[in-house]
Amino acid sequence: MELSVGSRVIAGIQIAGAAFGAFTLLTIVPNFNASMPNLGLFGILFLLCVVGFASGVMLLMGKVAGYIGSLVMHALQIPIVLSSAIAYKLVFGFGVFFGIVGPPQAVEFKLGAATILVLLPGEQPFGLALNAYAIIALTYLIQQRGVAASNASG
């Protein structure tokens, strides 16, 4: 699979963001409350960092598994959900969020890694936002795959 410059940039951002996320998670281990729910959520976030890093590297190598993994990782980064039942946000690299409802007001920009995965976080107003960067990157990767397929057949 031949990669465009844009696809390489997206893969690089994904790799850097996932590595930064994993490093950030590992730095909080000494102060970590190792109760069973926290340990499970920490494990899920760390696994997502590892998968994000590996799929970014495989995408750079032109592997189909890397392409599929990158699509999944970018799709997971699209929503932010804040409620009294769950709080969810995942960002590897860039996040440009447009608030739809509640606390994520107007536009919020994140650089690096930002992860939140909490069950029953307590009372907080409902919020919903979308990551414009993840939507654009996902759309671009899908479009480039279509271009590569049409070039290969024609």
- Of all residues in the chain, the percent with pLDDT exceeding 70 is 79
Higher pLDDT, 43 or 154: 43
* Domain region containing 109: 5-153
Per-residue confidence band for 12, with pLDDT thresholds at 50, 70 and 90? very high
Each residue's pLDDT tens digit, 135-152: 999 999 999 987 766 666
How many domains is the chain built from? Answer: 1
- Report pLDDT digits (tens) over 98-136: 887 665 555 667 676 777 777 776 777 788 888 999 999
For the segment 61-76, the average pLDDT, to the nearest whole number, is: 95
> Across residues 56-79, what is the average pLDDT?
95
Ramachandran quadrant class, 131 (left: phi over 0; alpha: psi -120 to 50; beta: rest): beta
**Range 17-23 average pLDDT:** 90
Decide: helix, strand or coil at residue 96: strand
- DSSP-derived letter for residue 77 is T
